[in-house]
Amino acid sequence: MKGRYALRNMRVTGMEVPPTFIQNVVSTFSLGVTNLNLRKLSLQMPFCDYNPPRFAAMTMRLREPRTTALTFASGNMVCTGSKDIALSLYACRKYVRLLQRYNIPVCMHNFMVQNIVASATLGFPVRLVDIAKDHGAFVSYEPDLFPGLVLRILQPKMVFLIFRSGKVVITGARFIEDIHNTFRGVYCEFLHKYKDTGTSSSSEYRVNTKHQMAVQSAASIT
């Protein structure tokens, strides 16, 4: 199992860092009730979808802010689609008010951000092969299974998906400021050092990896 990378310097200055953009905020909260009759609710509320054979939750959607909420019979809700924590909180309150309009005695409890997904564009291709070689204890790179390199950060706990094109997806964070600071640290500490000049490729990495596996298998047999 791979370990997690510990950043040595989170606040590196003097270097221009590409911006990060929030793509999705996943939040949860409780309605304060249990044993909701989701089938009855879905028949009363025209903007809801409920198909128990496919999924156990009732789906609700808002146009503004554009979000989707999953309502479970246990009284728990999951809100996704917002690009800001404040908007996610606002959307959750709107979902509660919509339920209250249908005489459902609910209120919002224990609002919590569970995951924030962000993205960034480095502006240059990345030598994923060399990152995998130099930081193999902290990253996972299996181009035959997934085109991106997976970097797990120890503190704050989050995951970076780094693609050869220079696209980066960040997930697992709970605070927007953590995303900005951690991305700056990762970029300044080593990402900018692996700008691809066309000397390596994922196909080369596949060949080398398969060769190493063949050598290891032969050694184990002998």
Among residues 196, 198, 208, which one has the least CA distance to residue 167? 196
Residue 71 confidence (pLDDT): 95
Residue 217 confidence (pLDDT): 44
Residue 13 confidence (pLDDT): 53
Structural domains in the chain, CATH included, are: 23-116 (3.30.310.10), 122-221 (3.30.310.10)
Q: What is the mean pLDDT of residues 26-42?
A: 92
> When comparing pLDDT for 16 and 94, which is higher?
94
The whole-model pTM stands at 0.80
Instruction: Report CA Rg, the chain.
Output: 22
Q: Is the pLDDT of residue 89 over 90?
A: yes
Residues in the chain: 222
Q: Is the pLDDT of residue 209 over 80?
A: no
- Contact (CB, 8 A) for 173 and 25: no
Q: What percent of the chain has pLDDT over 90?
A: 63
> When comparing pLDDT for 5 and 172, which is higher?
172
| CA distance linking residue 211 with residue 191, whole number of Å | 27
pLDDT digits (tens, 9 = 90+) for 35-71: 889 998 888 888 889 999 899 999 999 999 999 999 9
Among residues 90, 81, 87, 85, which one has the least CA distance to residue 23? 81
* pLDDT category of residue 198 using cuts at 50, 70 and 90: low
Buried b (16+ CB within 10 A) or exposed e, 7-28: beeeebeeeebbebebebbbbb
| CA distance linking residue 173 with residue 171, whole number of Å | 6
